[in-house]
Amino acid sequence: MDIKARLKRTLILCVIGLVIGTGIGFYQMNNAEQTRGAASGIAGVKIGGPFSLVNQNGESVTEKNFAGQYKLIYFGFTYCPAICPTELQKITRVLKTLEKDNPKLAANIAPIFITVDPERDTPEVLKDYITQFHPKLVGLTGSVEQIEDAKKKYRIFAAKVQEEGMSDYTMDHSSFIYFIGPDDNVLGVYRMDDTAQMMVADMLSNLPK
Ligand code: NI
């Protein structure tokens, strides 16, 4: 198959994955809504928690490295042809808007990209990839087990898809941007159809009082 046909197929698979992911995600979203606010244990579904991963410089990183900070967290993979780059560009736009309108908040937000494809997304691959987006963006990878653990905690669905005639696999994965507060509460969950503008407005309205 030529590269164009392959890209097209990968894109289609990515979209199929997104539809599946969105279905699962819708369920998660409802739970995330319930998770909002102080009583995060009541709904029974907690999003987030401790993790142990490796950053783009090959250094071990845990949630403690981001203690006291707001976080924008997105799970994806660098080979994703369309959806992941779009969402990472959105995070970049959100941060650039906040840098103008609310620099204090912007300075205290850590944008984090966590791969669902640790076998191909090594620290080197991530390091190269994230330069396309906001300079503060942190890329996290790890062992398959470490990534599985993080995916589970953040309720992320992701699976390899190997299509006949394709030498490379692609990934089905859910697509959410999580806005997490300094106390690790989920303050917002954003989907593909939320614009950067909508995100900024929602983030500002959900800041802890
Ligand atoms: Ni993707």
Q: What is the pLDDT of residues 11-47, one digit of tens each?
A: 555 555 555 555 555 545 544 444 443 333 334 568 9
Identify which of 105, 36, 44, 118 has the alpha carbon closest to the alpha carbon of residue 75: 118
Name the pTM for this structure. Answer: 0.81
Dist. CA 39 → ligand 1 center (Å): 32
Strands of 60-62's sheet in order across? 60-62, 52-55, 138-141, 109-115, 70-76, 177-180, 186-190
How many angstroms separate the CA atoms of 64 and 189, rounded? 22
Place of tokens 């959900």: 206
Q: What is the pLDDT of residues 36-90, one digit of tens each?
A: 433 333 345 689 999 999 999 999 999 999 999 999 999 999 999 889 999 999 9
Dist. CA 56 → ligand 1 center (Å): 19
Dist. CA 13 → ligand 1 center (Å): 10
Identify which of 177, 178, 172, 176 has the alpha carbon closest to the alpha carbon of residue 158: 172
Q: What is the pLDDT of residues 103-147, one digit of tens each?
A: 999 999 999 999 999 999 999 999 999 999 999 999 999 999 999
Dist. CA 167 → ligand 1 center (Å): 18
Q: What is the pLDDT of residues 159-208, one digit of tens each?
A: 999 988 888 999 999 999 999 999 999 999 999 999 999 999 999 999 98
